[in-house]
Structures are given as structure tokens and as C-alpha cells.
RNA sequence: GCUGGCGUAGCUCAGUGGUAGAGCAGCUGACUUGUAAUCAGCAGGUCGGGGGUUCAACUCCCUUCGCCAGCUCCA
């Protein structure tokens, strides 16, 4: 038998027979029982893995991320066994590990109830207590198919049939229950020391709505009770920052049944924040060479026939309305309007690029099940812009857009987002040459900005490659906000052109871009990001003056006047109430500064600022206060001010 | 749209077939107040809408609308 050289954690190189299992290797090292598996050349492996060539072996502990992966995968199996034990008619399908836990999809026509979850959990605890070893068995394709056919596990048979022919099929056994599975797993069920089943949801088999709907049970598992408790607490805390809840508590916006799902009412305070964002947005765009446009909410249907939206976007468009025997369409997009502005006269290569931006409200039909607070709605305002440029200007323009995007996200406090580059799909318009050029331009721009990105091969729209930025919401769901899309299609469809330096007509390149994506979505994410406690410059109410007694009201009024005069968003609380109550209310309303005025202050002509969170500042004059918050109140400088809590 | 769950006062929630309850908020009054809730009284709901079963429905059944989680789809 040949031998292999393994590099072990202490740096030592040891010789083992070829095919030695990870379990045997770890055992020879005599390391503690907190070891649950190993990484072999960086790849996660369980005790059954046979090492066939020279490799580096690093033990994996239970509470490390890869260790949790093994525990959760095993937890999924334990859950599946429990389910089949309690409900023998259930068929198993797949049960993978996901970011913070695991799920398993079952075919079960009657569906699970929340009470079933408790029963399943109880059964799982029994299985875990038995501490059954997970035994990996290599089986032939034929045996595997026969086994699962005999058991009526038709989904498993389907999976086996779809596996590549050279794939070694393995089954993991735990006692007398088994599952088709590639692994890796924890050594035994007892390693699932803390778990919780979280929710039940439907999920289509293989993710297609043409397939049967399965019952998915989500759960999570940890190596110890404390980590589980901490995780559950974190979930609770996250829920408190949910923009739907905060939006209601702070009276920022509402969505009402009487008005219609997915249609947002911006209340005074929410609208104030939006107006601040819009003002900032406009001034920054104009500073960077954009012009602002306004266009209608409806237009003749033919416009969308020309644009092609009627063909490929119809399912998201509302039905047309009849106006004097002509069909008009409420706009799902603003691009055709901007194109028509371009087309109104002959354009020269010298004119390009045009950067035209608009905060345009669009209406799109979304299936009822996908609506979600402000993050997914049916009427929303895009911070849309279209850049019309020459092919040789693409990179420079994209770079400009990325620069602006990163600047905006940073200004609003986002340093964490995912970036995707989507390349040419199978079906596409435009020349391969242009695609290549545009894709390289996007990629170069990303590199120039130093952004880490993932490539979504073939994920581009049919009309051009794109860059998407996604920000995560409080529950960890990623939402697309910013996007930069090169479009070879619309300039052709609308027969756009410009006169080049060769005196010939050329087709311009169109770049669609949005930074917030939609004001609604961005606002929702912003609310969650700050839990409603916006930085001073964005806060709808920046300060509130609280008097202690009646006799300070005249002085407090004069302070109010000064602050108002200086454009501070300030409110009065001159009620006959105790200071404790005024503090509490200001705190709950997340007002950055409460300016307390008692006799001491009135006598010295000062205010006593209390920061949101409880920090008391020394008494100071109104001018000193304005001076103090100057940086905080400046979108360009507030992050230098260092804090916003 | 699909699967499952939920819908009771402005908000958060009790109420398992016998004609609706609490806390907070609101209103009125008293208290004149120093850093997260002063006290008392009052008022407030055709129990999401419609239909059915029943002597009787918030409660059981059907249907419809909406919300929540997920799937699918997207800013």
C-alpha cells in the first residue's frame, strides 16, 4: 500500500497509508473531543473522508463556522428522521445548510402545524440523546435507486438519476434511518447540542413553480445552548429595528389596505427625511454634471411598444387606460421619456455625454406575495438617470457613476454591501464587440474603485451587462439598490443617433443607473440601518426644547426662535409635565438632542443639551450649541464628527 | 400567484359557542414638575369584509381582502 504525507496543525509532517480516514488521522493526534471534523487542503471533511494524496489537515472544532456547518447538516438529518418517524407518509427531498441554520424540504400533503414543530423537536431531542453515529456507506447507483424506490422516496431517486455518472453515491446512516447524502456530517447525532426549529414555509421542488409545493422547515443549531440563546436574542433585537415596525412607531409612513397594497403614504416626518435626501441628491448630481428632468406619469402605449417593454415587461405593467380612444400606459420605467428628450433634435458627438436624472415615480405590478414594507412595493420613486454617450466614453462614465455611488452610500453610513457584475446571457442584442467593450469597461471601473465583486456569469439583461449593488436588511436579506446597466437595445429601437467627427450617424450608448434604486427601498433600509435613530443631518426632528417650569417659557421661546432662524429642525415641549416624561418621549421618538431649560439655564441664557442615549452636555448658549452640531449637521462632514448615536 | 400562519380599541395584546377585556395612547380635571412613565375620572370596538351552521358565533364552516414567513419574481 502506498503512503501519503500529511501536514498537521503543529507543522509536523507525518506519513499515513493512502486512504486513511480523517477520523483515524485525528484519533492518532489525540486531540480533544471538541474536534468534529477537519479541513483537508482547506476543504471541509468529516471523519469518513479518505485522504488519497498528500495534504494539509487542519482539525475543525465544534463552534467554528465549518464545525457549525457539520452540526447543522446533521441537525437537518436528525429533523428528517424525526419527521419520518412521526409522519411515515412524508417523503424527504433535500436538506441543506444555509447561512444561519438549515432547512429540509418534505413532501407532505397535509402540511405541518406549529404544534407539529414542537413534537418534531421533542423527537429530535430523543434522537440526539441516543447519540447515534452517522455512518457513511458507499453504494452503487443501482443499489441506491433500488433502495429508495423500495422506500417510495421518489425525490431521492430523481436526484440520483440526475447525478453525474462518475459520482460516488453515498448514504449516511444513523441507526436504522438513512438518507442519500454527500456529507460531510458530524460523527454522531449527539453533536447537535442546541437547536431550534424556527418556521414552516412552502417551497417548490427544485425552485420551480411548475413543480409540486413542498413543506420546508427552517431551523438552526449550535454547539452549545448559549450560542443558540445569543442567536435567538439577536433575531429578536433585529426585529425591533424592522422598518415596518419603526416606521409605525416613529410615524414615518404607512401602507393601507384602503389605498392598496404596495402603495406608500409618506407621513410628515418620513417625507421630511425624503426631502432632505432629495435635496442632497439633486445638489450632488448637479455638481457632477447631471441635469434634472421631469417627465409624465403616463404616455401613449405605443411608446412602450417601441421600447419593447410591451413584449418583455408586460407582466409587470398595469393595464392601459383609454383616453379619447387612445391607449395610455402608466409608466413602469422612465427611460423612453429621456430618449425622447434626446431625439428632439440632432445631436453631435461634441454634445455627449448627456447625464439626465429624474426622481420619477413608476408603477409596476408585483405579485401579492412578494410585497414587503417599503422594500418591495408597487409604486416607487426611482433616482433614475440615463447617460447617453459614445462607446469610447463608457468606462469614464461608469467610473463616474461608481464614484458617485460609493460616495452616496458612504455619506448615508453604508460601508457594507455586495457588488455583482453580470455578464452576457445566452440571448442578447448588440454586437459581441460592444458587449466585450462594455463588460471590460464595467470591470475596469470596479477595479479602479477597488470594489470587491462577484461575477454573475450570463446574468446580465439581454440588452447589456450591468453592475448591481445590494444592501442587506435587518433580517439579512439582500436588496438591490444601486445599479449600472449598459444598454445596446433602446438606442437601436428608438433609432437614436449622433453625428460623429466623421460626419456620419452613429448610435449612442445608453447607460441606465440608479443609486438608491428607489427612495422607498432606500428609506426602508436606512430606517433599519439606524433603527430609526437617524444621524442629525437626516433626522426629521433634530432637537426639542423642554422646559422644566412655566416661568422659563418666554426664554425658551427666544431660544426656539434663534434655532429656527438657523434652520434647525426644532420642536417645543413646554407642557406642564415632569422632565422625566419629556426625556422619555424624546428618547422614544429618537430625537438627537433634547435641550433642557430650567431656571439655571434661563438665568444664564443657556440650554442644557441631552444627547439621544442619555449623555448630558454642559450648559451652553444657543450659538454654542449650533456651533457644536455644525459638523454633525453637514452631510459631507458628519462622519468625521465620529458619532451619531 | 403558490404553501403555511395571522387579522379583537389608535398601539401592544388577553378572551376555546352564552350578546367583548387590560395596559399604553386619547380626552377632562388635579398636580407646577431637573434627565426614560404624577394621579384620578371619562370615552373608545357592527372582533378585517361577506355568507353559512346554531336558540345563540370573536369563537365552528365557506368565501373574500389584507398582513407575516418562505418559494417564485424584481428597484
Residues of A identified as active-site:
335, 364, 382, 384, 386, 466, 512
pLDDT digits 0-9 by tens, A502-559: 999 999 999 999 999 999 999 999 999 999 999 999 999 999 999 999 999 999 999 9
Is the pLDDT reported for residue A406 higher than 70? yes
pLDDT of residue A204: 93
Is the pLDDT reported for residue A475 higher than 90? no
- Judged by C1' against the alpha carbon of A380, the nearest nucleotide is B75
Cα–Cα distance for residue pair A332/A638, rounded to 1 Å: 36
Helix or strand (DSSP H, E) at A101: strand A101-107
Torsion of CA A274, A279, A280, A281, to 10 degrees: 80
Strand B: which nucleotides have any atom within 7 A of a protein Cβ? Answer: 1-5, 11-12, 31-38, 65-75
Is the pLDDT reported for residue A643 higher than 70? no
CA distances from A438 to A41, A398, A429, A464, A487 (A): 38, 9, 13, 8, 9
- With contact defined as beta carbons under 8 Å apart, do A266 and A274 qualify? yes
Residue A278 has which C-alpha cell?
432629495
pLDDT of residue A245: 94
- With contact defined as beta carbons under 8 Å apart, do A72 and A221 qualify? yes
Confidence of residue A645 (pLDDT cuts 50, 70, 90): very low
Query: Is-cis flag, bond preceding A353, omega within 30?
Result: yes
pLDDT of residue A79: 96
* Ramachandran category for residue A458: left, alpha or beta (phi over 0 → left; psi -120 to 50 → alpha): left
- Judged by C1' against the alpha carbon of A602, the nearest nucleotide is B34
Cα–Cα distance for residue pair A350/A341, rounded to 1 Å: 17
pLDDT of residue A457: 87
CA of A585 to C1' of B23 (A): 17
Confidence of residue A174 (pLDDT cuts 50, 70, 90): very high
Residue A355 has which C-alpha cell?
447625464
Ranges of beta strands (E only) in A452-561 are 454-456, 466-472, 478-487, 498-499, 505-506, 509-518, 543-547
pLDDT digits 0-9 by tens, A276-286: 999 999 999 99
Mean pLDDT value across residues A455-472: 90
Exposed (0-12), middle (13-18) or buried (19+): which is A508, by Cβ within 10 Å?
Answer: buried
- Judged by C1' against the alpha carbon of A577, the nearest nucleotide is B33
Residue A239 has which C-alpha cell?
426585529
- Residue A223: count other Cβ atoms within 10 Å of its Cβ: 22
pLDDT of residue A386: 97
Bigger pLDDT: A8 vs A260: A260
Q: In what order do the strands lie in the sheet with A478-487?
A: A291-292, A354-363, A379-389, A509-518, A478-487, A466-472, A418-422, A454-456
- Judged by C1' against the alpha carbon of A609, the nearest nucleotide is B35
Helix axes A154-162, A141-150, angle to 10 degrees: 160
Mean pLDDT value across residues A587-614: 96
- Residue A15: count other Cβ atoms within 10 Å of its Cβ: 10
Confidence of residue A633 (pLDDT cuts 50, 70, 90): very high
Angle A259-A263-A268 (CA atoms, 0-180°, nearest 5)? 90
Nearest residue by alpha-carbon distance to C1' of B70 = A201
- Judged by C1' against the alpha carbon of A362, the nearest nucleotide is B75
Mean pLDDT value across residues A230-254: 92
Q: What is the pTM of this model?
A: 0.93
Nearest residue by alpha-carbon distance to C1' of B65 = A257
pLDDT of residue A644: 44
Cα–Cα distance for residue pair A362/A437, rounded to 1 Å: 31
Cα–Cα distance for residue pair A190/A187, rounded to 1 Å: 8
- Residue A477: count other Cβ atoms within 10 Å of its Cβ: 11
Of A32-46, A345-359, A609-623, which range is least confident? A32-46
Residue A604 has which C-alpha cell?
444664564
pLDDT digits 0-9 by tens, A76-122: 999 999 999 999 989 999 999 998 899 999 998 877 887 888 889 99
Percent of chain A exceeding pLDDT 70 equals: 99
Confidence of residue A451 (pLDDT cuts 50, 70, 90): very high
CA distances from A185 to A24, A103, A133, A192, A195 (A): 16, 15, 10, 11, 16
Helix or strand (DSSP H, E) at A98: strand A97-98
> Which residue in the block uniquely carries the three cell numbers 429540509?
A104
- Judged by C1' against the alpha carbon of A585, the nearest nucleotide is B36
pLDDT of residue A193: 93
- With contact defined as beta carbons under 8 Å apart, do A6 and A51 qualify? yes
pLDDT of residue A200: 87
Mean pLDDT value across residues A115-143: 92
CA of A103 to C1' of B15 (A): 35
CA of A112 to C1' of B60 (A): 22
- Judged by C1' against the alpha carbon of A587, the nearest nucleotide is B36
Percent of chain A exceeding pLDDT 90 equals: 76
3-state secondary structure of A311: helix
Is the pLDDT reported for residue A642 higher than 70? no
Residues 6+ apart with CB under 8 A from A343: A494, A495, A496
A385 forms beta bridges with A357, A513
CA of A331 to C1' of B49 (A): 32
Residue A554 has which C-alpha cell?
418666554
Q: State the ipTM, two decimals.
A: 0.94
pLDDT of residue A112: 86
CA of A585 to C1' of B32 (A): 19
Is the pLDDT reported for residue A429 higher than 70? yes
> Which residue in the block uniquely carries the three cell numbers 442615549?
A613
CA of A532 to C1' of B35 (A): 22
Mean pLDDT for chain A overall: 92
Residue A160 has which C-alpha cell?
440520483
CA of A372 to C1' of B68 (A): 10
CA of A551 to C1' of B29 (A): 22
Mean pLDDT value across residues A303-325: 92
CA of A257 to C1' of B58 (A): 21
Amino acid at each position: 500500500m502506498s503512503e501519503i504525507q500529511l501536514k498537521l496543525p503543529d507543522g509536523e509532517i507525518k506519513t499515513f497509508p493512502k486512504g486513511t480516514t480523517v477520523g483515524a488521522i485525528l484519533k492518532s493526534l489525540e486531540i480533544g473531543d471538541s474536534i468534529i471534523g477537519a479541513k483537508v487542503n482547506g476543504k471541509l471533511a468529516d471523519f469518513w473522508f479518505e485522504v488519497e494524496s498528500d495534504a494539509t489537515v487542519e482539525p475543525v472544532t465544534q463552534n467554528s463556522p465549518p464545525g457549525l456547518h457539520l452540526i447543522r447538516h446533521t441537525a437537518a438529518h436528525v429533523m428528517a428522521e424525526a419527521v419520518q418517524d412521526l409522519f411515515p407518509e412524508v417523503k424527504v427531498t433535500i436538506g441543506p445548510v444555509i447561512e444561519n441554520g438549515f432547512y429540509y424540504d418534505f413532501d407532505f400533503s397535509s402540511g405541518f402545524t406549529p404544534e407539529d414543530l414542537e413534537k418534531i423537536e421533542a423527537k429530535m431531542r430523543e434522537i440526539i440523546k441516543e447519540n447515534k453515529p452517522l455512518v457513511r456507506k458507499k453504494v452503487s447507483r443501482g443499489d441506491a435507486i433500488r433502495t429508495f424506490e423500495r422506500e417510495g422516496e421518489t425525490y431521492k431517486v430523481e436526484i440520483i438519476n440526475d447525478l453525474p455518472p462518475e459520482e460516488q453515491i453515498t448514504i449516511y446512516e444513523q441507526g436504522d434511518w438513512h438518507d442519500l447524502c454527500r456529507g460531510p456530517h458530524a460523527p454522531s447525532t449527539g453533536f447537535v447540542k442546541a437547536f431550534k426549529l424556527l418556521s414552516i414555509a412552502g417551497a417548490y421542488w427544485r425552485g420551480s413553480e411548475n413543480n409540486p409545493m413542498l413543506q420546508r422547515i427552517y431551523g438552526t443549531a449550535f454547539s452549545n445552548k448559549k450560542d443558540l440563546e445569543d442567536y435567538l436574542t439577536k433575531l429578536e433585537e433585529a426585529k425591533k429595528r424592522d422598518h415596518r415596525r419603526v416606521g409605525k412607531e416613529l410615524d414615518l409612513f404607512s401602507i393601507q389596505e384602503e389605498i392598496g397594497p404596495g402603495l406608500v403614504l409618506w407621513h410628515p416626518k418620513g417625507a421630511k427625511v425624503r426631502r432632505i435626501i432629495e435635496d442632497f441628491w439633486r445638489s450632488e448630481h448637479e455638481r457632477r454634471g447631471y441635469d434634472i428632468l421631469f417627465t409624465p406619469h403616463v404616455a401613449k402605449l405605443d411608446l412602450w411598444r417601441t421600447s419593447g417593454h410591451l413584449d418583455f415587461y408586460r407582466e409587470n405593467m398595469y393595464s392601459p387606460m383609454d383616453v379619447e380612444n387612445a391607449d395610455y400606459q402608466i409608466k413602469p420605467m422612465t427611460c423612453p421619456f429621456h430618449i425622447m428628450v434626446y431625439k428632439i433634435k440632432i445631436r453631435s458627438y461634441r454634445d455627449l455625454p448627456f447625464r439626465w436624472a429624474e426622481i420619477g415615480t413608476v408603477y409596476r405590478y408585483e405579485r401579492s406575495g412578494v410585497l414587503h414594507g417599503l422594500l418591495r412595493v408597487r409604486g416607487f420613486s426611482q433616482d433614475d438617470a440615463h447617460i447617453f454617450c459614445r462607446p469610447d466614453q463608457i468606462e469614464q462614465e461608469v467610473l463616474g457613476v461608481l464614484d458617485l455611488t460609493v460616495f452616496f452610500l458612504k455619506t448615508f453610513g453604508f460601508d457594507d454591501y455586495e457588488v455583482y457584475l453580470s455578464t452576457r446571457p445566452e440571448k442578447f442584442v448588440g454586437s459581441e464587440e460592444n458587449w466585450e467593450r462594455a463588460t471590460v469597461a464595467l470591470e475596469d471601473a470596479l477595479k479602479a474603485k477597488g470594489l470587491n465583486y462577484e461575477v454573475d456569469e450570463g446574468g446580465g439583461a439581454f440588452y447589456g451587462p450591468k453592475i448591481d449593488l445590494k444592501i442587506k436588511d435587518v433580517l439579512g436579506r439582500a436588496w438591490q439598490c444601486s445599479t449600472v446597466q449598459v444598454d445596446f437595445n433602446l438606442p437601436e429601437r428608438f433609432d437614436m443617433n449622433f453625428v460623429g467627427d466623421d460626419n456620419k450617424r452613429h448610435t449612442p450608448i445608453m447607460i441606465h443607473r440608479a443609486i438608491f434604486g428607489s427612495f422607498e427601498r432606500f428609506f426602508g433600509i436606512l430606517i433599519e440601518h439606524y433603527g430609526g435613530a437617524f444621524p442629525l443631518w437626516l433626522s426629521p426632528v433634530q432637537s426639542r426644547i423642554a422646559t422644566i417650569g412655566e416661568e422659563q417659557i418666554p426664554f425658551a421661546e427666544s431660544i426656539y426662535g434663534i434655532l429656527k432662524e438657523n434652520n434647525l429642525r426644532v420642536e417645543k415641549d413646554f407642557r406642564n409635565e415632569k422632565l422625566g416624561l419629556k426625556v422619555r418621549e424624546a428618547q422614544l421618538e429618537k430625537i438627537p438632542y433634547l435641550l433642557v431649560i430650567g431656571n439655571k439655564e434661563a438665568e444664564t441664557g443657556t440650554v442644557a443639551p441631552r444627547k439621544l442615549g442619555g449623555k448630558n452636555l454642559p450648559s451652553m448658549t444657543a450659538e454654542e450649541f449650533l456651533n457644536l452640531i455644525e459638523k454633525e449637521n453637514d452631510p459631507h462632514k458628519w462622519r468625521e464628527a465620529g458619532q451619531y448615536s
